[in-house]
Chain A
């Protein structure tokens, strides 16, 4: 009975019938409350977005898989301390982190959110070394500013690592589980958007018992496949014999039923089921369809599906669970980590088997964002597809960059990947990741031009995916080239209209361009796509802000913050609105919130600097602009404000130097020249100031403030006719009411000396 129930549960999970799965699983647990069954139940809950239930049932369990699942539930419930102790018990400092790469990734995230950046970086690096295809970890490293060159990370060593993983699997059905990255545990397999517990491991674990364990990190692959012994395929279940890191993991895992790979036992079929968990079906169940789960989440899991044939494919993480094997697959699904940066959506189509493609979303902002609407499909499938033969799995078409994909499970019979296919597949995958990783890393360092060049080198089909296009848009945005950004983002929207990634930046671009029609249209579309995503509300708020309705805009940005308090940009936008309403105290608080989430968010540093500039606290202002400048040394706007602050502190030499740099950095930006003229005027270097302003006149011939300033300078030099001329032109260009008053007053004063002369 147990076996049948297990099978049913896994089947239900596979088909996303969570209610059914939960019910049956509860019966299963009542029948035989083994830990494995409990893990399966927890996986069901997590998939169904009931992290609290999973939390309750797994509290106190000590097996690695249980600890991992427990950590995921804690993470989703925002109980970071408990999650951390679960993964890394205090009394066992040298203990093994459950689920290898996924565990490290989860731990890294926990450290990141509790502000222990060094530890976070350490764990992300470990995760990457175990599973080189764990894109989410690389993404996080980029955001923290500590990523190494993509070529190194996704280079030879990685290829070897992947190879080993796959070779071990032999059969491997790609069932990789997808890691869930999402916070939201959205379980369902959704391909994608779900938020499933971010931990991909979870999935893997969940599902799989399967051997996949390794897979998630890339290595994992096919363990599931292995399980299919039935297929007769390869019994090499050894998937998990994988190289040492995996081995370690495995051993660690072994104890818990979930361990993914049972492999050590060598039992093939069962291994897949691994974990021994009941889930894994009882061997036979593995058969066929291995489903692949796609993890959403940040991990890039490559669905094992690829491997449907011969040998496991290393390509990307195969986190997929061998669906076939284990019904568990279910667990992994989803997790979309929305957001930002990379999202990998693994969509695997289950072709042969009920594979589900799960899109994995990774996003850096994963953290920040909640649901990701868009799923980025990383099309790993392409590579997989190339492999041909196997894959039955559906890999999503090449266009998508699916990094993660879980291929449909290996259908029956285990897919074997031949060694050479693995190698070539792996190298393709790595090549792709290398370009994407390099581009992402460069854009996080704000070397946007280089990032753009890197992205342009991608093959066309990969370039035209929403993730890449959003990144391109962001890069243009940082370069203050709003028209190009607009173009890139609108293309991204055409390619994947359901994607929310990067749309908050797009709304800001439209705000800067003052395109209120497009902006309101965007806002409407986004809110109708997903009313619970902070990006949609950011767009709506920007709309109101553009119409100068700052109070409503503030309310809306606060809503976005409520939806996802880890979304740094929403906090920054709140801060901007507070400043427009002249509420500086709350403005500073909002900016500081943003910085607490992401200390490399230079907009927030800039915001605080502006507040201090207004309040005339110039030293603080200079410090903050300096920090912003350190993070983004190419922004001419920041440089010019830094110069203004320096000038106010009487360090005029430095101020002029920075202004010159700003002018060189971006020829199209008139602001630094104007500020420079201002500084020169207050230093009484009138001729230099006039020179700069003359040049500025060429750039922006219809700017009233330029003429007004020139008039002022001429007045100081007592060249009244010229002053009059310029004031007149300035007035013609319709300045604001305050300026009209100032200019007219200045004109009046000009007349006085003339009248005096007349009288005389």
Chain B
């Protein structure tokens, strides 16, 4: 078990970050349909800063660790990717270093699905929720919780500047078993 957890930690290390947010075309941002909440925040740096598409302002927590961001949907959704924007150069000891992602039906039955350790992240960090099994490409859930377990340099509170959550696009054509990929099919498949 120890070995496994070590392996996990090694695998789960992410160094640096991406300058640009580039996401596959067949993914769409699902955050707008969810209710976002945080475990604590400083006045003026609340949960809205996580969703405002502005990288200048950030959410700052104001309590004990772990700091939590809760994302709740009205119905079960398939999620594939979580992307966070953090900046070690600006936030230093406020930058998260260990993040755990949990999923479940509600606060009572959240289960951890991913843990990742970050090393001086600057930019967009992509956290894929897929498992190894092809059947586990998506996480089908009501609620997602992003927990900041510890920060760099042992800081108490944390800054996160933006969070985005992605899931697959539904098939534009109803009652089709598979989605079309080639241009001829797509061109002819709808009337606009």
Give me the interface of A with B, judged by CB distance under 8 Å: 480, 482, 508, 511-514, 548, 573, 576, 580, 582, 602-603, 606, 610, 613-614, 635-638, 644, 648, 668-671, 674, 678, 699-700, 702-705, 708-709, 712, 733-745, 747-748
Contacts and interface: CB of A to CB of B under 8 A. Distances in A.
A740 B189 contact: no
Nearest to B183: A514
Contacts of A738: 26, 78, 137-138, 168, 171, 179
Nearest to A672: B188
Contacts, number: 115
25 contacts: A512-B192, A514-B183, A548-B25, A603-B191, A610-B174, A614-B174, A670-B184, A699-B184, A702-B182, A703-B182, A703-B184, A704-B182, A705-B177, A705-B180, A738-B26, A738-B78, A738-B137, A738-B171, A739-B179, A741-B138, A742-B177, A744-B134, A748-B133, A748-B134, A748-B135
A638 B137 CA distance: 34
A743 B135 CA distance: 9
B192 A674 contact: no
Contacts of A482: 187
A671 B182 CA distance: 12
A712 B192 CA distance: 30
Given A548-B25, A700-B184, A740 B175 contact: no
B27 interface: yes
B169 interface: yes
A511 B192 contact: yes
Contacts of B174: 610, 613-614
B192 A709 contact: no
Contacts of A733: 181-182
Contacts of B170: 582
A556 to B, nearest CB: 15
Given A512-B192, A548-B28, A700 B185 contact: yes
Main secondary structure of the interface of B (DSSP, over half): loop
B181 A703 contact: yes
B190 interface: yes
Contacts of A742: 177-178
B24 interface: yes
Contacts of A573: 192
Interface in B146-192: 168-172, 174-192
Given A610-B174, A705-B181, A745 B135 contact: yes
A499 B137 CA distance: 50
Contacts of A669: 188
B80 interface: yes
A704 B135 contact: no
A739 B191 CA distance: 23
A280 to B, nearest CB: 51
Contacts of B177: 678, 705, 708-709, 712, 742
B190 A637 contact: yes
Interface of B: 24-28, 78, 80, 133-135, 137-138, 168-172, 174-192
B134 A508 contact: no
B185 A705 contact: yes
A734 B169 CA distance: 15
Given A548-B25, A705-B178, A737 B80 contact: yes
A740 B191 CA distance: 26
Contacts of A735: 178-179, 181
Contacts of B80: 737
A704 B178 contact: yes
Question: Chain A CB within 10 Å — which of B25, B28, B178 has the most?
Answer: B178
Main secondary structure of the interface of A (DSSP, over half): helix
Question: Chain A CB within 10 Å — which of B133, B168, B182, B186 has the most?
Answer: B182
B169 A736 contact: yes
B108 to A, nearest CB: 28
Contacts of A699: 184
Across the A-B interface, give the 6 residue pairs with the lowest CB-CB distance, nearest first: A744-B134, A705-B178, A741-B137, A703-B182, A614-B174, A736-B26
B134 A745 contact: yes
Contacts of A668: 184, 188
B19 to A, nearest CB: 20
Given A736-B169, A737-B137, A744-B134, A709 B178 contact: yes
A700 B182 contact: yes
B188 A508 contact: no
A136 B54 CA distance: 52
Contacts of A606: 191
Contacts of B137: 737-738, 740-741
Given A668-B184, A705-B176, 18 more contacts: A480-B188, A511-B192, A513-B187, A576-B192, A670-B184, A678-B176, A678-B177, A705-B179, A712-B177, A733-B182, A734-B181, A736-B179, A736-B181, A738-B26, A740-B134, A741-B138, A742-B177, A747-B134
Given A613-B175, A741-B137, A745-B135, A637 B189 contact: yes
Contact of A637 (B25, B28, B178, B191): B191
Given A613-B174, A702-B182, A703-B181, A737 B27 contact: yes
Question: Chain A CB within 10 Å — which of B78, B175, B176 has the most?
Answer: B175
B85 to A, nearest CB: 20
A735 B25 CA distance: 12
A700 B187 CA distance: 12
A587 to B, nearest CB: 13
B168 A737 contact: yes
A417 to B, nearest CB: 49
A150 to B, nearest CB: 28
Contacts of B26: 736-738
A737 B168 CA distance: 7
Contacts of B27: 737
Question: Chain B CB within 10 Å — which of A610, A637, A703, A709 has the most?
Answer: A703
A702 B28 CA distance: 25
A490 to B, nearest CB: 18
A644 B170 CA distance: 18
Contacts of B192: 508, 511-512, 573, 576, 603
Contacts of B24: 737
A620 B175 CA distance: 16
Nearest to A607: B191
A678 B174 CA distance: 13
